[in-house]
């Protein structure tokens, strides 16, 4: 019942938009709302909504992970990882604060996860710690972060969590040609 109302509302909105475009251009267009849906293809407005849902997902998740690492919530996990990898907690927090300012998308996430040839031992340790803390965040804290945030597409973010966790565990999946 609700779905039928939503479909009817979407069709009337689409009709109004098409009439408005036709009125502004000065041409007359005859539109049949029952036959305007293409088979196996999304309408441009639907396609735009689908891309909009996950447009900033990497940026939002990466910033949330950085905030988690900087905050006191990570204190039960951080000392053990710092001791194991051999660095000071404050150094990692400073490194993450510096990197958090520059996060714009998946490229910066790759930079925080993938170990390069020119990385020194401290940076390698920071990247490994980031990866472990990101896994902890996604597994135990992401659902709460999503539900309590101002995100518009909460269900999509909840669904994307598992894909994101898989990509955190295997950073080579963050490259587009290896999806």
* pLDDT at site 42: 66
Residue 53 in tokens? 């849902």
pLDDT band at residue 80 using 50, 70 and 90 as cut-offs: very high
Give the Cα separation of 38 and 154 in Å (integer): 28
pLDDT per position as a tens digit, 155-169:
999 999 999 999 999
Rounded to 5 degrees, what are φ and ψ at 76?
-65, -20
pLDDT per position as a tens digit, 83-109:
999 999 999 999 999 999 999 999 999
pLDDT at 26 over 70: no
pLDDT band at residue 12 using 50, 70 and 90 as cut-offs: confident
The two counts, helices (H) then strands (E), for the chain are: 9, 0
Q: Which residue has the tokens 């036959």?
A: 35
* pLDDT at site 49: 77
Q: How many CA atoms lie within 13 A of 84 on its CB side?
A: 9
Question: Would you call 153 helix, strand, or coil by DSSP?
Answer: coil
* pLDDT at site 179: 44
Give the Cα separation of 109 and 106 in Å (integer): 5
* pLDDT at site 46: 79
* Residue pair 32/40 in contact by the 8 Å Cβ criterion: no
pLDDT per position as a tens digit, 27-79:
555 545 555 555 456 678 777 777 777 788 999 999 999 999 999 999 999 99
Give the Cα separation of 154 and 43 in Å (integer): 23
pLDDT at 132 over 60: yes
Give the Cα separation of 137 and 107 in Å (integer): 20
Secondary element (H or E) of residue 18: helix 2-25
């Amino acid at each position: 019942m609700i779905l039928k109302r939503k479909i009817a509302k979407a069709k009337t909105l689409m009709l109004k938009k098409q009439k408005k475009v036709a009125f502004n251009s000065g041409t007359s267009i005859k539109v049949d709302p029952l036959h305007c849906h293409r088979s196996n293809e999304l309408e441009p407005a639907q396609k735009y909504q689908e891309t909009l849902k996950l447009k900033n997902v990497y940026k939002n998740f990466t910033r949330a992970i950085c905030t988690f690492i900087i905050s006191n919530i990570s204190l039960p996990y951080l000392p053990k990882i710092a001791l194991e990898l051999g660095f000071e907690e404050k150094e990692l927090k400073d490194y993450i604060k510096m990197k958090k300012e520059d996060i714009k998308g998946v490229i910066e996430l790759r930079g925080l996860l993938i170990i390069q040839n020119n990385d020194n031992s401290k940076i390698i340790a920071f990247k490994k710690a980031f990866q472990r803390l990101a896994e902890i965040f996604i597994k135990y804290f992401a659902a709460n972060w999503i539900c309590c945030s101002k995100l518009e597409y909460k269900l999509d973010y909840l669904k994307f969590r598992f894909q994101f966790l898989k990509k955190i565990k295997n950073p080579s999946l963050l490259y587009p040609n290896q999806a």
